[in-house]
Protein backbone atom coordinates (compact mmCIF):
# COMPACT_ATOMS: atom_id res chain seq x y z
CA UNK A 1 0.00 0.00 0.00
CA UNK A 2 1.41 3.39 -0.96
CA UNK A 3 0.73 5.93 1.76
CA UNK A 4 2.27 8.91 0.02
CA UNK A 5 3.58 9.87 -3.38
CA UNK A 6 6.79 11.71 -3.95
CA UNK A 7 6.65 13.24 -7.37
CA UNK A 8 8.97 15.26 -9.53
CA UNK A 9 8.21 18.75 -10.77
CA UNK A 10 9.29 19.72 -14.28
CA UNK A 11 9.40 23.27 -15.59
CA UNK A 12 8.58 23.33 -19.30
CA UNK A 13 8.74 26.08 -21.89
CA UNK A 14 5.47 26.77 -23.64
CA UNK A 15 5.89 26.99 -27.40
CA UNK A 16 3.74 29.80 -28.85
CA UNK A 17 2.37 27.58 -31.63
CA UNK A 18 1.01 24.86 -29.30
CA UNK A 19 -2.51 24.69 -28.00
CA UNK A 20 -2.66 26.04 -24.40
CA UNK A 21 -3.00 23.39 -21.74
CA UNK A 22 -5.48 23.61 -18.89
CA UNK A 23 -4.15 24.21 -15.36
CA UNK A 24 -4.97 21.48 -12.83
CA UNK A 25 -5.13 24.09 -10.08
CA UNK A 26 -7.39 26.80 -11.48
CA UNK A 27 -8.75 25.11 -14.65
CA UNK A 28 -7.81 28.15 -16.79
CA UNK A 29 -5.65 27.88 -19.90
CA UNK A 30 -1.91 28.28 -19.33
CA UNK A 31 -0.77 31.15 -21.55
CA UNK A 32 2.43 31.90 -19.60
CA UNK A 33 5.89 31.41 -21.06
CA UNK A 34 6.55 28.51 -18.65
CA UNK A 35 4.37 25.88 -17.02
CA UNK A 36 4.94 23.15 -14.48
CA UNK A 37 4.25 19.48 -14.98
CA UNK A 38 3.62 17.44 -11.84
CA UNK A 39 1.43 14.45 -10.97
CA UNK A 40 0.90 13.97 -14.73
CA UNK A 41 -0.91 17.33 -14.89
CA UNK A 42 0.00 20.85 -15.99
CA UNK A 43 0.04 23.87 -13.66
CA UNK A 44 0.60 27.62 -13.67
CA UNK A 45 3.69 28.39 -11.58
CA UNK A 46 1.42 30.22 -9.09
CA UNK A 47 -1.10 27.38 -8.86
CA UNK A 48 1.18 24.54 -7.76
CA UNK A 49 1.42 25.41 -4.08
CA UNK A 50 1.79 23.61 -0.77
CA UNK A 51 -1.57 23.12 0.92
CA UNK A 52 -0.09 24.16 4.29
CA UNK A 53 2.37 26.99 3.80
CA UNK A 54 1.29 28.18 0.32
CA UNK A 55 4.88 28.16 -0.95
CA UNK A 56 5.25 27.83 -4.69
CA UNK A 57 6.47 24.27 -5.14
CA UNK A 58 8.32 25.02 -8.36
CA UNK A 59 10.52 27.44 -6.40
CA UNK A 60 11.36 25.30 -3.36
CA UNK A 61 12.65 22.23 -5.15
CA UNK A 62 11.92 19.61 -7.72
CA UNK A 63 9.88 17.30 -5.46
CA UNK A 64 6.41 17.47 -4.02
CA UNK A 65 4.56 15.08 -1.74
CA UNK A 66 0.93 14.02 -1.76
CA UNK A 67 -1.03 12.30 0.97
CA UNK A 68 -4.65 12.46 2.06
CA UNK A 69 -5.47 14.53 -1.06
CA UNK A 70 -2.96 17.20 -0.01
CA UNK A 71 -0.12 18.52 -2.13
CA UNK A 72 2.76 19.41 0.18
CA UNK A 73 6.31 20.67 0.21
CA UNK A 74 8.91 18.39 1.80
CA UNK A 75 9.06 20.34 5.07
CA UNK A 76 5.28 20.27 5.64
CA UNK A 77 4.98 16.63 4.59
CA UNK A 78 7.62 15.66 7.14
CA UNK A 79 6.12 17.97 9.78
CA UNK A 80 2.66 16.40 9.36
CA UNK A 81 3.47 12.78 8.57
CA UNK A 82 7.17 12.22 9.32
CA UNK A 83 8.55 10.19 12.18
CA UNK A 84 10.20 12.07 15.01
CA UNK A 85 12.93 10.57 17.14
CA UNK A 86 15.41 11.40 19.86
CA UNK A 87 19.01 12.47 19.47
CA UNK A 88 21.47 9.76 20.55
CA UNK A 89 23.75 12.40 22.13
CA UNK A 90 21.38 14.77 23.99
CA UNK A 91 18.22 12.61 24.07
CA UNK A 92 16.08 15.60 23.03
CA UNK A 93 13.40 15.30 20.35
CA UNK A 94 14.42 15.75 16.73
CA UNK A 95 11.53 17.06 14.60
CA UNK A 96 10.91 14.97 11.50
CA UNK A 97 11.70 17.87 9.13
CA UNK A 98 15.08 18.70 10.69
CA UNK A 99 18.34 17.71 9.00
CA UNK A 100 20.20 15.01 10.94
CA UNK A 101 23.41 13.02 10.98
CA UNK A 102 23.32 9.24 11.22
CA UNK A 103 25.84 6.70 12.46
CA UNK A 104 24.57 3.12 12.19
CA UNK A 105 21.24 3.09 14.07
CA UNK A 106 21.91 6.39 15.88
CA UNK A 107 20.46 9.74 14.80
CA UNK A 108 21.86 13.12 15.92
CA UNK A 109 21.03 16.82 15.71
CA UNK A 110 23.62 18.48 13.47
CA UNK A 111 24.93 20.43 16.48
CA UNK A 112 25.21 17.26 18.57
CA UNK A 113 27.25 15.34 16.01
CA UNK A 114 30.62 15.80 17.72
CA UNK A 115 33.22 13.74 19.54
CA UNK A 116 31.68 12.71 22.83
CA UNK A 117 35.02 12.97 24.64
CA UNK A 118 36.54 16.25 23.43
CA UNK A 119 33.40 17.86 21.87
CA UNK A 120 35.20 18.50 18.57
CA UNK A 121 32.57 19.07 15.87
CA UNK A 122 32.98 17.15 12.67
CA UNK A 123 33.27 18.83 9.28
CA UNK A 124 32.50 17.31 5.91
CA UNK A 125 35.15 14.71 5.16
CA UNK A 126 36.31 14.23 8.78
CA UNK A 127 36.71 10.69 10.00
CA UNK A 128 34.69 9.67 13.00
CA UNK A 129 34.44 6.37 14.82
CA UNK A 130 31.62 4.66 16.66
CA UNK A 131 32.98 2.78 19.66
CA UNK A 132 30.74 1.44 22.44
CA UNK A 133 27.91 3.47 20.87
CA UNK A 134 29.89 6.71 21.26
CA UNK A 135 31.00 9.01 18.44
CA UNK A 136 34.74 9.68 18.67
CA UNK A 137 37.20 11.76 16.69
CA UNK A 138 40.20 9.97 15.23
CA UNK A 139 42.55 11.21 17.98
CA UNK A 140 40.37 10.02 20.86
CA UNK A 141 39.66 6.74 19.11
CA UNK A 142 43.35 6.02 18.53
CA UNK A 143 44.27 7.05 22.11
CA UNK A 144 41.60 4.70 23.40
CA UNK A 145 43.00 1.83 21.34
CA UNK A 146 46.45 2.40 22.84
CA UNK A 147 45.06 2.11 26.38
CA UNK A 148 44.48 -1.34 27.72
CA UNK A 149 40.82 -2.13 28.38
CA UNK A 150 39.31 0.72 26.36
CA UNK A 151 36.22 1.99 28.20
CA UNK A 152 35.78 5.75 27.65
CA UNK A 153 33.51 7.73 29.93
CA UNK A 154 31.11 10.30 28.51
CA UNK A 155 31.85 13.82 29.75
Contact 65, 56 (CB under 8 A): no
Q: Write out pLDDT tens, residues 107-148.
A: 899 999 999 999 999 887 889 998 888 899 999 998 888 774
Give which of 59, 55, 82, 80 is closest to 9, Cα–Cα: 59
Per-residue pLDDT reduced to its tens digit, 40-91: 999 999 999 999 999 999 888 778 888 888 899 888 888 888 777 899 999 9
Three-class DSSP category at 76: helix
pTM over 0.75: no
Q: Are the CB atoms for 107 and 99 separated by under 8 Å? A: no
pLDDT bin (cut points 50, 70, 90) of residue 28 is very high
Average pLDDT over residues 7-17: 80
Reported confidence tier of residue 5, pLDDT bands at 50, 70, 90: low
Amino acid sequence: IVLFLSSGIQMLSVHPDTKPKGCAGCSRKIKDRFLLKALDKYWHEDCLKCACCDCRLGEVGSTLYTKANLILCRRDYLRLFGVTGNCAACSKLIPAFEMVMRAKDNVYHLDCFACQLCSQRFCVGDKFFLKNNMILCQTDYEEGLLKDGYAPQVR
